[in-house]
Amino acid sequence: MAGMWQCQVVTSASIAGAVRQGSLRELNLAVVLRRIAAADHPPSRAGLAAGTGLTRATVSAVVDDLIAGRLVAEAEPPPRTGAGRPARGLVLAADGPAGLGLEVNVDYLAACVVDLTGTVRHHLVRRADLRPVSPADALARLAALAAEARAAAVRDGLTLAGAALAVPGLVGDGGLVRLAPNLGWRDVDVPALLAGHPLAEPVDGVPPLVVDNEANLAALGELHAGPPGSRSFLHVSGEIGIGAGIVLDGALYRGARGWSGEIGHFPVQPQGRPCRCGGQGCLEQYAGQEAILAAAGLPGAELPADTAATRLADLAGAGDPTTLAALADAGTALGVAVAGVVNLLDLDTVVLGGGYAPLAPWLCPPVVAEISRRVLTAAWSPVTVRPAALGAQSAAVGGATSVVRRIVDHPVGWLARTP
């Protein structure tokens, strides 16, 4: 990123003619759009010129392109307070491109639409136990839900620019789901099963659907929706499975093959309960939704994650001792794993997301206690443990947000598609 800014400075003035016009335009579009996206107050054209070092004429031309492409709009002018015409500020357009976020999880399907400003415009959820359903049927139901969301977006005048699908498992190249143990999926070729559906039809050679791990997309959602300042954090999503997204310096860390974040199989009791993965004593067996429900003496391991979390939160809030003990034990197991991660990665923030978010009042204290006990550096630098800003289904919101963020980072691709 620093390199890109450096290039921009080098190439913006007298030497522009020597640079390929195409790449200069790309650079300037991205620089100006990112400034508008990051601004606290809608900047004027003059303010953008001052802030970027570009000439006023260049900024005006770039802004005209961005407005024509429905990426930027002029904000309503502030009320007149004196003589002269107040400058109109520039904001991201709320009626241009939008991202479609989709999720297949163990007990629900979700689809959501997020516009360029990051606002969730539609969010549809269908409850269903998808474990007995074939991958083809599950994806057919998802495609129907996606069509509903698309229709709602079109009614709002939005254009879907792409889609991201969150699955609770390991995703390989080309959208192949290698393994989603809690769904019972293995080597499921998502694009092939969606063949013929608009989701799978490339637009200008770009496949509109990206398949990703749900914990990764939830962490991306938290990065963009969470409080400012959290640029490096561990995001732990608690559902029937437990996944983590690792954000380092504002970027998702994916690992050598994109399979990072499998915290659910962190060995918290190496000789303990057998796990579906073939291992033993994995965190999931102590702090996954089914383990917490069983310890709380609640039937219905098949409850949707947010319903289960709400029921547990209600009981804990009413002081039910069995539920409180179950949450304390789950929090301790989670804290053991999180402390191991913090010792390893030296992160200063841990975010509890997904089904953990509503349970944070009861999970945070034992997690913090284990961190204080086990993290060497906790004495000098406390670790913040907080609930996620996005609640359940954060992965769908994160997926949709990742689509629109890509447009802000690389607007040329979108503009090339605009007639």
Task: Rank residues 83 and 344 by Cβ distance to its own copies and give the closer one.
Answer: 344
Task: Please report how close the Cβ of residue 81 comes to its own copies at its closest, in angstroms.
Answer: 43
Task: Please report how close the Cβ of residue 263 comes to its own copies at its closest, in angstroms.
Answer: 6
CB 363 within 8 A of CB 369: no
CA distance 19 to 12: 10
DSSP-H helix ranges across 211-346 = 214-225, 284-287, 289-295, 305-317, 321-345
Task: Rank residues 163 and 375 by Cβ distance to its own copies and give the closer one.
Answer: 375
Tokens for 305?
């994650």
Could you report how far apart the first and last alpha carbons of the chain are, in Å? 30
**238 strand-pairing partners:** 242, 354
Task: Rank residues 12 and 393 by Cβ distance to its own copies and give the closer one.
Answer: 12
Question: Where does this chain bind its own copies (CB under 8 A)?
Answer: 1-4, 6-7, 10-11, 13-15, 18-19, 170, 172, 178-179, 181, 232, 244, 246, 248, 253-263, 265-270, 277-280, 282, 336-337, 339-341, 343-348, 373-377, 380-381
CA distance 141 to 136: 9
Task: Please report how close the Cβ of residue 334 comes to its own copies at its closest, in angstroms.
Answer: 12
Task: Rank residues 333 and 388 by Cβ distance to its own copies and give the closer one.
Answer: 333
Task: Please report how close the Cβ of residue 146 comes to its own copies at its closest, in angstroms.
Answer: 28
Neighbours of 72 (CB within 10 A): 25
- HSE, CB side, 13 Å, CA atoms: give it for residue 300: 12
Task: Please report how close the Cβ of residue 136 comes to its own copies at its closest, in angstroms.
Answer: 22
Task: Please report how close the Cβ of residue 255 comes to its own copies at its closest, in angstroms.
Answer: 2
Task: Rank residues 78 and 382 by Cβ distance to its own copies and give the closer one.
Answer: 382
Task: Please report how close the Cβ of residue 362 comes to its own copies at its closest, in angstroms.
Answer: 20
Long-range contacts of 47-53 (CB under 8 A, 24+ apart): 47/87, 48/90, 52/8, 52/12, 53/8, 53/9, 53/12, 53/13
How many residues in the chain? 419
CA distance 389 to 223: 9
Task: Rank residues 37 and 244 by Cβ distance to its own copies and give the closer one.
Answer: 244
Task: Rank residues 7 and 94 by Cβ distance to its own copies and give the closer one.
Answer: 7
The secondary structure of residue 94, as a DSSP letter, is: S
